[in-house]
A and B are shown apart, each in its own frame.
Chain A
């Protein structure tokens, strides 16, 4: 899996902003908040969260609305909304680049885009320095099952790979997971044909990709670096934030 790229706080007008690109998807995210809320959206005890997703080409449709609803409900658990009652936290995600469309069963599926959106949202929130309950990382997996699906088809015969063009061509189902920093499941969206065992198999792999293997999960005890297989998303997120913090603390030294 290619190492994703991120740029933080590069927009001037927004409170927090980030660009994230990975696997041919590039998303620019901006967060404004807490700001004044319209009367009809105002919540008396917490901040309202508004998510706008804008596609690279054309205007938003049901696909974008669906993704917005997933992000909105996810972020409600992450942002400490009760610290800003009667305000609005506004997140705008502009998709800038998507891989060229090709023929596969998941061409019109919204899911391949979801991990990039979730990651961009996280980075933008971190850039805006909004108080969060936890960070999260997200990964998309494609499952290629030996066809036809047998109940007892060996799990090892199933290929699990991160979603990219090559994986989508042979995939029978795709899954998107997001985990909090503690390894708790936050988002699980699936599409396609699969059996529960396969889902669990994918879950384990996703957890490994996001948080690292279960043994190596303890604080400070990082897996051997250098090998691409050992790289995990939360480690990457941490390195991005470390870079940002170092940049911002430059004046002190």
Chain B
């Protein structure tokens, strides 16, 4: 497998010099995201996110299985990230590289361990049957910012997904297909989103949403996961040069604005999609959802 093409010394110096003069190669201000574009598929639970040139498709699906014996009241939720050579020839099939491991670990902590998805609501009969929800993350195009893009796609897909409706009579479980009964949305407790900060020039320059070229020359990164209420789910910093604590505080406060803007965008797109599906205006009658 070929290695990821590294930036040449000239390109590296140029990029760093430009940053010192407060210019980014793509002309963005330091604290803005690239253009985010979110599309939903025909089916429930398919989200296609384009962040600049990075493109990620997330597909959420579910089936009925037996829960883990030590967690009888919980359903199962899994996130799979597997890179393919489509995103970059440096990604080898069946051999996860560093960025793949980091992405899956960050998402695991950001979404699963922050219990964004209420797994108890996936339980059908305690200890016997539950829903197993899985999210497959497909990276189609890689131009940096994988963590942020994957997180947006995953949250949007989970929020868009509908699981089939079930009824329980004693020991008998009936799972209704999408045609028989209006499917039910997942119970999401909150919506954490990730914002990555990249540090240059020993902490003097901080960038939001670095491109692949910027990622290759940065000194360190800090990933802040936060929901729109400003609750921090995780702060991850894997190695790199040290940064001071005050800078972390500015990170978290600027992350809040970004997360709120992103969530607003996701919500808008979800509403748009719901309106498109709700052609006859019958959705309110069909829905089996209880008011919380």
**Chain A interface residues toward B at CB < 8 A:** 11-14, 17, 28, 30, 32, 35-36, 38, 52, 54, 56-59, 90, 92, 94, 96-97, 100
Query: B43: which A residues are within 8 A, CB to CB?
Result: 97, 100
| Residues on A with beta carbons closer than 8 Å to the beta carbon of B141 | 11-14
Cα distance A35–B92 in the bound complex, in angstroms:
13
Q: Which residues on the A side are within 8 Å of B57 (C-beta)?
A: 94, 96
Asked whether B53 is an interface residue with its Cβ less than 8 Å from the other chain, the reply is yes
Give the A-B contact count at a CB cut-off of 8 A: 66
Instruction: Give, as a whole number of angstroms, the nearest-CB distance from B16 to chain A.
Output: 24
> Across the interface, which residues of A come within 8 angstroms of B55, CB to CB?
11
Quick one: given A11-B141, A52-B93, are A92 and B46 in contact (CB under 8 Å)?
A: no
Closest B residue by C-beta to A52: B93
For B, the interface residue count at a CB cutoff of 8 angstroms equals 28
Query: Is B85's CB under 8 angstroms from A92's CB?
Result: yes
How far apart are B81's CB and chain A's nearest CB, in angstroms?
Answer: 11
Q: Is there an interface contact between B1 and A92, defined as CB atoms closer than 8 Å?
A: no
**Complex CA–CA separation, A28 to B84 (angstroms):** 12
| Binary contact readout B44-83 vs A (1 if CB under 8 angstroms, 0 otherwise) | 0010000001010101010000000000000000001010
Residue of A nearest to B87 (CB): A13
The smallest C-beta distance from B135 to any residue of chain A, in angstroms, reads: 10
Residues of A within 8 A of B134 (CB): 57-58
Of A13, A32, A94, chain B has the most CB atoms within 10 Å of the CB of A13
* Residue from B46, B82, B86, B89 in contact with A35 in the complex, judged by beta carbons closer than 8 Å: B89
**A137 CB to nearest B CB, Å:** 23
Chain A residues near B2 (CB-CB < 8 A): 35-36
Specify the chain B residue showing the minimal Cβ separation from A32.
B89
Closest to A38 in B: B1
Please, how many angstroms separate the alpha-carbon atoms of A51 and B83 in the complex? 15
Judge if B165 is at the interface, Cβ distance under 8 Å. no
- Say yes or no: B143 contacts A12, CB within 8 Å: yes
A122 vs B53: C-alpha distance in the bound complex, in angstroms?
24
* B129 within 8 A of partner (CB): no
B118 within 8 A of A: no
Q: Judge whether A56 and B136 touch: CB under 8 Å.
A: yes
Bound complex: CA of A38 vs CA of B54, how far in Å? 27
Please name 22 pairs of A and B residues whose Cβ atoms are closer than 8 Å in the assembled complex, sorted by A. Answer: A11-B55, A11-B141, A12-B141, A12-B143, A13-B86, A13-B87, A13-B142, A28-B86, A30-B86, A32-B85, A38-B1, A52-B93, A57-B61, A57-B136, A59-B82, A92-B86, A94-B86, A94-B138, A96-B57, A97-B42, A97-B46, A100-B178
